Amino acid sequence: MSSETGFDPELYKRFPTTEPRPEGELEQLEEVWCGPRRPWEWITAINNNYIGVYYVGAAMLFFVLAGVLALLMRTQLALPMTGFLAQETYNQIFTMHGTVMMFLFAVPAVEALGVLLLPQMLGARDLPFPRLSAYAFWAYLVGGLCFFASLFFGLAPNGGWYMYPPLTSMAYSPGINADFWLLGIGFIEISAIAGAIEIIVGVLKTRAPGMTLDKLPIFAWAMLIFACMIIIAFPSIILSTLLLELERALGWPFFDAAKGGDPMLWQHLFWFFGHPEVYIIFLPAAGAMSTLIPAVAQTKLVGYRLVVLAMLATGFISFGVWAHHMFTTGMPQISINYFSAASMAVSVPAGVQVFAWIATLAAGKMRFNTPGLFAVGGLVIFVMGGLTGVMVAMVPFDWQAHDSYFIVAHLHYVLIGGMVFPLFAAIYYWTPMSSSRPLSERWGKWIFWLMFVGHNVTFMPMHLTGLMGMPRRVYTYLPERGWDLPNMISTIGSFMFGLAVLLWVVDMIRNFRPFGNKDAGNVFGGPGLEWLPSGRYSLRSVPVIKSLYPVWDQPDLARDVEAGRYFLPGAPRGERETIVTSPLNAEPQYLLRMPRPSSWYVWAAIFTAGFFLILTIQAYLASVISGVLALYCILKWCWRLDRPHPQATVDIGGGVRVPTYVSGPSSHGWWAMVITLIVAGMVALMAGFSYIFLWSRRPDLWQAPPELSSLLLVIALMAAAGLLAWLSVKALALDRPRSGMIAAVLMLLASLAILGGWGVDFTAWWGTGLRPDVNSQGATVFGLLAWQGMFAGICGLMGLFALARWSFGLLSPQRPSTYQLIALFIGFSAAQGVYAAVLTYLFPGG
């Protein structure tokens, strides 16, 4: 095995160590990772054992809430033309059902599962950015609950979860309902992306030593691909929500056909996010299936590599299928054919996974416990959904089935079979890891059968109602069309499903006892690291991994880990810490100091959610105050970052010494910043697409750009900014007496150059007489400028932040991380500024 980092693999042979561990080491470890002791500390807790459980719990809460909405809808539709729900109420409820299920349940639920399970599976003490997890969770919970509450005031969005303009434009949705959706989704996007960054860096950088990529648990693979997909897909929804809110609030015509906008732009942007979203939800659940089916069958997963490849393929292909939601919009035949082919292709990797599960079940011996039942039941339902998926990928069939109840049936088969059943399997399977008691097997079987039968009774007849001509999203239907009976059957089935969920909630209340010092243990005989004995600190010591199934393949592992005979058997510096390893071979690189609980990120989350929600009800002053407070809390939190330790290296067990501080591409911070910038870059890329798309619709409305001289000036200033930022990092590295001051000043100058370049660009366009609210060119040009302006503002803040850190003596050549990250950000902003300026000046040109 060649080394990735210069780490000598021979060192692994020192483990398990044989010398006795020092007295009091375990007690110190327990003290450092202690749980909440005062009530307030339950909220400021950041250990993933707490946040993960909160997170899953909150996601399931939203599942139940959105499920109740579904039952209300089914009650309304049980009979034709009933008056159980008023039209407007129904329209709000079906919008909220979709939105809450997709944004507040499905994505957070799988993300939560990742936060809860990944550190355990990877042998890390925690994920690398625990405060970010906590921030993402609290913003999601507070924001999500307020968003849901809009339903009780009749202010919930009513334009469908896909929010097509112009129905959702100011002209046809003058209330603040649509704004609730747009801004409500805003912070959910933020928390999803924060979680994705956490998961990518966590999977790539905090694995147990020796856990090379081919020994990475399949669930971690799934979460890695999932998080990368979020990074690529979510920027599109960020952009589309921004554009629609700009159109609603300021009248910038992105979607208004009368001024050169195009409602189809929304559909492209929305589905470029929306379809990958389905696989974003499915992949982690599939990863959980691939993880727990081997435990259920007590044999290794058949075709591990094929399954990983299949998941990667799903990730790729899923970005090429978005327009299959738009076969009826009159797209050109050639595009239709392409998207039809791609949509069929995406079912192939799903087939690979399904047959890998079947082969695994055949290779071992299926044990009919609750996780096993949910896994097999989910598989059957998912295959049926996949088959109807292939049907609707056939264009002529889709012309009939599209927007009918057939699609409602299809998507529920896919999502319930592909995500909900696996999630329940996962909950039953992993509960013994978090709880001191497992869930009841007897109840579990009842719940499974009720849910399985209820699902089919609900959704099977919907195929038929759809083919009989019943459209989706109708609050009622006329009698005498033959739709009465299938609808009544669906309603009965939905209440069976509801009863199953109710029983599950009751069983959770009866048996779920998390946060204890003892868990129920490896009830189902699983093979992963998460089944080793652990405490709040996770594993006592982090083992060297030699197998994909360490608990099965490495005898005495549990005993040696418990005895502290592996890496990091204590808390050598009296701090919370975890080992950072290299992305491919997981060779130890450095020891990462983790934060202790504090309240800044909780406040930051509350004020972030407050900012968006108060903005919705148009209390601008209060909203700005909340935003400033959020910013202040985030800065307070950032102030504590980037602290080196006086000890340059530390022994992490067996005499292996690693540094305590690293900067540059090896550091977790660098990775997180790069991923953040990829998100921003994707937004800019999609904005560029929107710009060209709108031009192609109405070139006659577009005017000439400003003089090219201003373009040159913009490029020059941006280039100067990049250069200054680079020089700043170099100056700091020189380690001369005045390095710090020079670096700080250079960085401030760099941020000023970004601001200056933006100012030149803005004035030039304003000078041409172009205005954002007049036509689509104005809207997109000033949209790009607004985006770049936000970056210029952040650059300015960062420049001041750098100066402040220098003046407080927090800056030294030995701790250059903050500087490198600011330089990265400024460099990116400069590149983005050049990109936007070149695009808008030269295309389509004068």
Q: Which of residues 439-498 bind another protein (CB under 8 A)?
A: 467-469, 471-481
Residue owning tokens 């529920």: 412
* Minimum CB distance to another protein smaller for 472 or for 546: 472
Which of 194, 200, 231, 228 shows the shortest CA–CA distance to 216? 200
Q: 545 and 522 in contact (C-beta within 8 Å)? A: no
According to CB under 8 A, which residues from 81 to 120 bind another protein? 81-83, 86-88, 91
Nearest approach in angstroms of CB 291 to another protein is 17
Nearest approach in angstroms of CB 419 to another protein is 19
Nearest approach in angstroms of CB 395 to another protein is 5
According to CB under 8 A, which residues from 688 to 717 bind another protein? 697
Residue owning tokens 């999601």: 140
Nearest approach in angstroms of CB 490 to another protein is 16
* Minimum CB distance to another protein smaller for 257 or for 674: 257
Rg value, the chain, Cα = 27
How far apart are the C-alpha atoms of 106 and 686, rounded to whole Å? 25
Q: Binding another protein by CB under 8 A: which of 361, 568, 687, 731?
A: 361
According to CB under 8 A, which residues from 155 to 194 bind another protein? 158-160, 164, 166-167, 171-173
3-state SS string for 552-603:
HHCCCHHHHHHCCCCECCCCCCCCEEEEEECCCCCCEEEEEEECCCCCHHHH
* Minimum CB distance to another protein smaller for 108 or for 166: 166
Structure tokens at 681: 């870059």
Q: Binding another protein by CB under 8 A: which of 212, 353, 541, 585?
A: 353
Q: 435 and 520 in contact (C-beta within 8 Å)? A: yes
* Minimum CB distance to another protein smaller for 82 or for 709: 82
* Minimum CB distance to another protein smaller for 262 or for 519: 262
Nearest approach in angstroms of CB 386 to another protein is 9
- Binding segment for another protein (CB under 8 A), chosen from 350-358, 427-435, 501-509, 601-609, is 350-358
How far apart are the C-alpha atoms of 846 and 842, rounded to whole Å? 8
Q: Is 5 exposed, middle or buried (0-12, 13-18, 19+ CB in 10 A)?
A: middle
Residue 464, CA distances (Å) to 224, 405, 570 in order:
38, 8, 62
How far apart are the C-alpha atoms of 92 and 97, rounded to whole Å? 9
Nearest approach in angstroms of CB 253 to another protein is 11
How far apart are the C-alpha atoms of 576 and 200, rounded to whole Å? 21
Which of 780, 791, 787, 757 shows the shortest CA–CA distance to 843? 780
φ/ψ region of 584 (left if φ > 0, alpha if ψ in -120 to 50, else beta) reads: alpha
Determine the size of the site formed for another protein (CB under 8 A): 87
* Minimum CB distance to another protein smaller for 16 or for 377: 377
The answer to the question of residue 774 lying near another protein (CB under 8 A) is no
Backbone angles phi, psi at 102, to 5 degrees: -75, -50
Nearest approach in angstroms of CB 321 to another protein is 13
Structure tokens at 556: 């005495």
* Minimum CB distance to another protein smaller for 469 or for 574: 469
Q: Binding another protein by CB under 8 A: which of 330, 655, 665, 769?
A: 330
31: CB partners within 8 A, 6+ apart: none
Structure tokens at 264: 């189809």
According to CB under 8 A, which residues from 519 to 548 bind another protein? none
Nearest approach in angstroms of CB 650 to another protein is 44
Q: Binding another protein by CB under 8 A: which of 3, 27, 316, 329?
A: 329
* Minimum CB distance to another protein smaller for 44 or for 360: 360
* Minimum CB distance to another protein smaller for 404 or for 608: 404
Nearest approach in angstroms of CB 305 to another protein is 9
8: CB partners within 8 A, 6+ apart: none
How far apart are the C-alpha atoms of 476 and 90, rounded to whole Å? 9
Structure tokens at 515: 């946060």
According to CB under 8 A, which residues from 212 to 271 bind another protein? 257-258, 261-264
Helices (H), 206-217: none
Backbone angles phi, psi at 9, to 5 degrees: -60, -20
Residue 552, CA distances (Å) to 290, 545, 547, 591 in order:
16, 12, 9, 28
Q: Binding another protein by CB under 8 A: which of 149, 249, 250, 341?
A: 341
Q: Where are the beta strands (DSSP E) in 573-728?
A: 576-581, 588-594, 649-651, 657-659
The answer to the question of residue 359 lying near another protein (CB under 8 A) is yes
Q: Give CA 510 to chain center in angstroms.
A: 31
Q: Is 8 exposed, middle or buried (0-12, 13-18, 19+ CB in 10 A)?
A: exposed
Nearest approach in angstroms of CB 697 to another protein is 8
* Minimum CB distance to another protein smaller for 328 or for 814: 328
According to CB under 8 A, which residues from 362 to 381 bind another protein? 362-364, 366, 376, 379-380
| CA–CA–CA angle 405, 410, 414 (5° rounding) | 150
According to CB under 8 A, which residues from 56 to 85 bind another protein? 79-83
* Minimum CB distance to another protein smaller for 394 or for 650: 394
* Minimum CB distance to another protein smaller for 404 or for 578: 404
Backbone angles phi, psi at 658, to 5 degrees: -130, 155
According to CB under 8 A, which residues from 578 to 607 bind another protein? none
Nearest approach in angstroms of CB 265 to another protein is 11
According to CB under 8 A, which residues from 395 to 434 bind another protein? 395-400, 402-404
Q: 824 and 832 in contact (C-beta within 8 Å)? A: no
Q: 658 and 590 in contact (C-beta within 8 Å)? A: yes
- Binding segment for another protein (CB under 8 A), chosen from 17-25, 338-346, 594-602, 755-763, is 338-346
Q: Binding another protein by CB under 8 A: which of 383, 503, 635, 733?
A: 383
Nearest approach in angstroms of CB 682 to another protein is 27
The answer to the question of residue 306 lying near another protein (CB under 8 A) is yes
- Binding segment for another protein (CB under 8 A), chosen from 56-64, 198-206, 394-402, 836-844, is 394-402
Nearest approach in angstroms of CB 206 to another protein is 31
* Minimum CB distance to another protein smaller for 101 or for 204: 101
Nearest approach in angstroms of CB 421 to another protein is 14
Q: Binding another protein by CB under 8 A: which of 113, 193, 302, 750?
A: 302
How far apart are the C-alpha atoms of 393 and 387, rounded to whole Å? 10
Q: Binding another protein by CB under 8 A: which of 75, 89, 347, 511?
A: 347
DSSP string, 428-457: HHHHHHHSSSPPPHHHHHHHHHHHHHHHHH
711: CB partners within 8 A, 6+ apart: 705, 764, 837, 838, 841, 842
Q: Binding another protein by CB under 8 A: which of 149, 249, 250, 387?
A: 387
